[in-house]
Amino acid sequence: MSNSKTLIHPRRVLFALGLGTALSLMGDGTLYTVLPTHTAEAGIALSSVGIILGVNRAVRLFLNGPAGLAYDRWPRRWLFVPALFIGSLSTAVYAATRGFWPMLVGRLLWGLAWSGIWVGGATVILDVTTAQDRGRWTGLYQTWFFLGAALSALAGGLLTDWLGYGATMWLGAAVTALGGLVALILLPETRSIRPDLDYPSVEEIRPRLRANRGLWVAASLQGINRFVIAGVFAATMGLLVQDWLLSTSLTLGVATLTGLLMAGRTLLSVVAAPLAGAASDRLGSRWGMAAWGLAIGAVSMALVAWGEPVAILAGVSLGAVAGGSVQALVTALTGDLVSQAQRGRAIGLLHTAGDLGSAIGPLAAYALMPWIGLGGVYLLCAGLFAVGLVLAMLFRPRAR
């Protein structure tokens, strides 16, 4: 093994990369928070809200792969920085127009932008890390994402009440553009960095993507994690809180308590992602740490299905830990499993699996609820986490 070092320290890219990613979420986070109650200002019918909020995720199923291929073929900066400005443009469309079709165009633009931002950000982090520190830095990048998602929703709601819908969207466009400007100035090009060549003949010993079983396992874990946490759980938490309040003497409103739980989940994920990543570096067992995260996820869903207030609170907390840790670890695993020349496409596959899971999660939950109830849906989610745990444990000996 050679002693070659990464030419660019991860710290040099993390600030510009993380800040750009976090600020890019301002428009999207605001829209998720306020659109259901501000349809008149947006010029759409209430029945169209689901389509508007979901179409960007659907289009990413077709864009993540081409985005990954582009990152493998062209310089990272040429793709990541323009994606941030496209994100700013999409939010400006929300601010400047009214009606279903302009909003739809804006959301399609955001889907294009987020494919470029999310696939590109993970690819850049993998460029500047090695197997010895990849978990830590990948987890720290995930922290920027979770912070951006939480703060954009909170700030978007507050600013909309204070300034109004249109002014808040214009401000969101400016904030995202600021992130693009920071990345334009500070983000170095990383495509030529080859830290994975610390290991001899890495291009020969790592299989092509279609034959890379470890990558497909990692993508499956990402799909399960996003299906449960970002799909089923996020879409049904309001119902869970409503049922919870009926069995307690709390006087908080459903929306208020749901918001508090969502914020608390995000903060726990912010902590869990870098801790799990750093632990996987120290222990040298990313598959083992992923298995622990999946086990925690299975326990969390079983506790929520139990339905007792204390069990629900514990389940929500453990679910946040599982979601944040698994999301960070599968990204780091992808860097371990593929060569530098394959990273963009591999990350595109990983995020496509995640987007597919989070897109079908709400549909599956509400389709199954009349048959098995909300508790049954959560038990099904616990079973899916258990399936992921088995996959991780079965592949772990092969990885060794």
Ordered by start, the domain boundaries in the chain are 10-187, 202-399
Q: In this structure, what token pair is assigned to residue 171?
A: 């401000």
Tell me if 380 sits within 8 A of 228, measured CB to CB: no
Q: Is 248 exposed, middle or buried (0-12, 13-18, 19+ CB in 10 A)?
A: exposed
Q: What percent of the chain has pLDDT over 90?
A: 58
* Cα angle 234, 322, 260; round to 5: 45
Q: Is the pTM of this model over 0.75?
A: yes
Helices (H) and strands (E) in the chain, counts: 15, 0
Name the class of domain 10-187: mainly alpha
C-alpha 82/C-alpha 117 separation (Å) is 9
Question: Does the structure show a pLDDT above 60 at 42?
Answer: yes
Name the range with the highest mean pLDDT among 165-169, 188-192, 308-312: 165-169
- Round the average pLDDT of the chain to a whole number and report it: 87
pLDDT confidence of 246, banded at 50, 70, 90? low
Q: Assess whether pLDDT exceeds 80 at residue 135.
A: yes
> Rounded mean pLDDT of 128-141?
91
Q: How far is CA 68 from CA 175, 230, 255, 351, in A?
A: 26, 22, 38, 10
Select from 85, 90, 111 the least CA-distant residue to 184.
Answer: 85
Per residue in 187-237, pLDDT (tens digit) is: 999 987 755 544 433 444 456 677 788 899 999 999 999 999 988 888 787
Whose CA is closest to 299, among 379, 369, 365? 379
Q: Which amino acid is at 197?
A: L
Instruction: Enter the tokens of residue 375.
Output: 């508790």
H or E segment to which residue 365 belongs: helix 343-399
The span from the first CA to the last CA of the chain, in angstroms, equals 17
Question: Is it the case that residue 152 has pLDDT exceeding 90?
Answer: no
**pLDDT band at residue 5 using 50, 70 and 90 as cut-offs:** very low
| Position with higher pLDDT, 23 vs 214 | 23
As a whole number of angstroms, the longest Cα–Cα distance in the chain is: 64
Token pair in block for residue 364 = 């599956």
- String of DSSP letters for 265-287: HHHHHHHHHHHHHHHHHHHT-HH
The CA-CA-CA angle for residues 87, 91, 94, to 5°, reads 145
Cα dihedral value 138, 332, 286, 302, nearest 10: 80
Distance CA 226, CA 388 (A): 12
CB 244 within 8 A of CB 312: yes
Q: CB-based burial of residue 253 (10 Å sphere; 0-12 exposed, 13-18 middle, 19+ buried)?
A: exposed
Residue 397 pLDDT exceeds 70: no
Q: What number is the average pLDDT over the span 129-148?
A: 91
Which band of pLDDT confidence, cut at 50, 70 and 90, is reported for residue 30?
A: confident
CATH superfamily of 202-399: MFS general substrate transporter like domains (1.20.1250.20)
Nearest to 233 by CA among 364, 331, 332: 364
Token pair 């993507």 in the structure block, residue: 209
Return phi, psi of residue 4, to 5°: -65, 145
Question: Which range, of 78-82, 300-304, 323-327, 356-360, averages the lowest pLDDT?
Answer: 356-360
* Confidence class for position 244, pLDDT limits 50, 70, 90: low
Contact 191, 76 (CB under 8 A): yes
Go through 125-157 and write b for each residue having 16 or more CB atoms within 10 A of its CB, e for each that does not: bbbbbbbebbbbbbbbbbbbbbbbbbbbbbbbb
Reported as a pLDDT band with limits 50, 70 and 90, residue 272 is very high
Distances 240 to 305, 311, 315 between C-alpha atoms, Å: 10, 12, 12
Domains 10-187 and 202-399 share a fold: yes
CA gap 19, 243 in Å, rounded: 38
Helical axes 100-127 vs 26-34, angle rounded to 10°: 140
